[in-house]
Structure 1
């Protein structure tokens, strides 16, 4: 009678996600062949040669991993990141296992608009940077005047038990937007290189890069200030800093407004009358129907979208600093809108809103989404940033002018837009398109729409002066 079978004690199998390497297969195969050959041939030397291989393999596999590595991406600390600023990020690899990771291969994708010039591993607040010639070691650097990134290569290190190693990335932000760092992945080899894990991939982290604000000033008054408080002088009497004259004292006048010189001379109390200071609403309308030019980053050529976003940030910063209310609106199929508001919080909201501006070519006529009375106030100054590449953009400007709006068109088409290199009909067609576009701009000016090219400081000063004069003149046409 036989008793119950007692299972033999065996080593636990590797956790899910771990697999044997070719080195383990070669070691087992070679040791087995030497042992079989030594037994069959009766040669002790072959058994002696196989013993170290078998013992070494068994010793390396005495402790097997039970958990996969942990990988995550973090953005460096600091204030708001602007184009041309320094960007830092880190790809971290943690070892939650009880077995040391003998070899860790880390690789991460980085947006081409984030030029990484220095990368290196940091452990216990110590950065281990390799020389510039090292490509697959603990770190790498490149000269700062190149466009090449060092993040698109594998980096190798080791991670002890319960430790975390950071692959620190440092470089520059070349363009505005939300740029991903990642996805990042890591593969680990342990047990003397006999076991390897599957690739552990983590989700990317979006680095927010705000557009660089170009210097912009507009000293001319707004066409019509409709708010209650602000920095623009209206023609209505009230509390303000602009002197409107001297008049006799009346009920409700404040004592600090008394002009004692005139009062003593006239034997009656007189007060200094002032004009009220009022704020205005500025609507920046972004034409996102077409794109032209190639973006070269903060230090290169600017495309239509680059000029549009940077000019919008500059205009919004200027008028919000003066206490005006600013709203944003896209002229496109999405018709995204930012509600009018004032203050620094609105400026930060504008920068966040601009990060999601994209070109949306569409055959849809976005008139209804843009010209609603709840979106455009009758007293607002509408600054339209458009490349005038689509006929619908010109029709939109003409429609705003016919509705009696105060409109200023800012031409965002690059001045250095290259002409077709092919000889023949392509160059002729390009010249005809340029002539047709110039004719369209002339027609817009005839309809009372000033068109000015964006050139930074003072771009809109003369145009706003003309618009302010038109605002004081009698207006013909319905709203």
Structure 2
């Protein structure tokens, strides 16, 4: 729960005027010897005394946020000082218009709001404005607007098929390599040569050999190696499904956003490779500090999950290509709304990497858009479709993440190992 906000009390002006009037009436009555006139000033003086009385103690408001299942629970606690009559609160969720609530504050009051989870990542959930009234509305205190912020973890998803680089690393791993070694997959039989291990001699094959007395036959196996996977996230865009909301970007109205798809995609891809014993690196194209060096194990997955969960859109960022290891499989996660990222995919493919373009643009809807917006949306979609087709022509695998057949697309691409 955040610290309570505190401010000074401000007087609206009526109490002081009433006090001056009471003093004037009492003075006239006592000066003229008119007891009846003086008695008229007593009720005025009593009312002024009440109006001039300040509340005892400090009024405060605090706000706390928790995430329970698919809901964001916001709890607001208002602590009124002695003498506070009531509190007027205006609460706006997800940057929507505020709802006004009036509560008594002679004792601490707690309010609870349950909001749906609309997006993942860091976000403002609720903003609170408040005024406390005392002395019959004569005194007012404005509360600094507390803001409820929350970081929503992405949904957990899985990837069924792993794509391997065109050439595996020399580190031992769980994938069959294209070189001889100590793996489990049989390759062929060959005459014994210097460097072969004695335990690899196949005595049955040797016995069947035309020259068993002079030539030993060994069983040769394929080596096992690990894959080097790199996940690169283009965090410049966080556009929603509603095209008409691209300019205003209101969280409650834009629908599923591209980063809502990108965050679980990155985590799912990283988890699949790390569970297979491979090494994974993560890079943000426009935020060099938000990266995770190549590594393996559960701690690496937690590191990537923490970095990706905190990722927010940076529309003004400039893409900076990270340094990639030799012969890696590169997952480029982007909306591909411009040529910059597509150019990087082509550059990496020409450098010998296996590149997978993860398209995280949600299914768009032009509902509520005027004719100009619809035309701009149509042109944008045609340009993007042409861009993705050009990537396919240079052997970049394109996988729309929101499609239900994405695993089938990955399985189909996994069958193609590329050049030796």
Q: TM (normalized to structure 2)? A: 0.72
CA contact (8 A) 1:215 1:457 kept: no
Distance (Å, rounded) in 1 between the aligned partners of 2:222 and 2:253: 45
Question: What's the CA shift string for 1:9-54, capped at 9, x where partnerless?
Answer: xxxxxxx923434452354255345435645776544433432342
1:148-190 CA distances to partner (integer Å, 9 max, x unpaired)? 88x6424422244xxx543333322211121235664554444
State the Cα deviation string for residues 278-317 of structure 1 (Å, max 9, x = none). Answer: 4433222223455654469799843434333343233233
Report the CA distance shift for 1:165/1:222 in structure 2 as closer, same or farther (over 3 A). farther
Task: Decide whether aligned partners of structure 1 residues 390 and 420 sit closer, same or farther in structure 2, where only a CA change above 3 A counts.
Answer: farther
* Aligned 8 A contact 1:74 1:205 in 2: yes
Match of 1:47 in 2: 38
Does residue 155 of structure 2 align to residue 199 of structure 1? Answer: no
Secondary structure (helix, strand or coil) at the match of 1:441 reads helix
Residue segments in structure 2 that go unaligned for 5+ positions in a row? 1-6, 210-216, 243-249
- Any idea what SS the aligned residue of 2:267 has? helix
Q: Summarize the Cα distance change of 1:221–1:378 in structure 2 as closer, same or farther, 3 Å threshold.
A: closer
Equivalent-residue separation in structure 2 for 1:71 and 1:320 (angstroms): 46
Q: Within the alignment, does 1:452 sit opposite 2:407 as a pair?
A: no
Report the equivalent of 1:100: 82
Structure 2 SS opposite 1:198: strand
8 Å Cα contact 1:287/1:331 also seen in 2? yes
Q: Of 113, 117, 121, which residue of structure 2 is paired with 1:173?
A: 117
In 2, Cα distance between equivalents of 1:71 and 1:352: 31
Aligned residue for 2:38, secondary structure, equals helix
| Cα distance change of structure 1 residues 216 and 443 upon mapping to structure 2, 3 Å threshold | same
Distance 1:278 1:427 in 2: 50
Q: Counterparts of 1:438 and 1:185 in 2: how far apart (Å)?
A: 46
Contact kept in structure 2, 1:88 and 1:171, CA below 8 Å: yes
Structure 2 CA distance for aligned equivalents of residues 203 and 338 of structure 1:
34
1:330 and 2:284 are equivalent in the alignment: yes
Decide which of 314, 317, 321 is 1:370's aligned counterpart: 321
Q: 1:40 to 1:93 in 2, by over 3 A?
A: same
Alignment equivalent of 2:71, drawn from 86, 89, 94: 86
Which residue of the partner structure matches residue 381 of structure 1?
A: 329
Residue of structure 1 in register with 2:169 after alignment: 226
Normalised to the residue count of structure 1, the TM-score between the two structures is 0.64
Of 256, 274, 286, which aligns to 1:320?
A: 274
Identify which range, 194-203 or 346-355, moves more after superposition: 194-203
- Compared with structure 1, are the counterparts of its residues 159 and 66 closer, same or farther at alpha carbon in structure 2 (3 Å cutoff)? closer
Structure 2 residue corresponding to 1:398, chosen from 340, 346, 349? 346
Q: CA deviation at 1:65?
A: 4.6
Determine if the alignment matches structure 1 residue 307 to structure 2 residue 289. Answer: no
Query: Do the aligned partners of 2:91 and 2:99 also contact (CA within 8 Å) in 1?
Result: yes
Q: Rate the CA distance shift 1:273–1:470 in 2: closer, same or farther, 3 A.
A: closer
- Measured after TM superposition, the shift of residue 437 of structure 1 is 4.0
The two structures, once aligned, show a CA RMSD in angstroms of 4.8
Matched position secondary structure for 1:24: helix
1:360 aligns with 2:315: yes
Q: Secondary structure at the match of 2:345?
A: helix
Question: Once structures 1 and 2 are overlaid, which stretch shifts more, 276-285 or 236-245?
Answer: 236-245
Give the CA deviation at 1:447: 1.9
Query: Secondary structure at the residue paired with 1:370?
Result: coil
Pick closer, same or farther for the CA change 1:416–1:169 going to 2, 3 Å.
closer
In the alignment, which residue of structure 1 is the partner of 2:9?
18
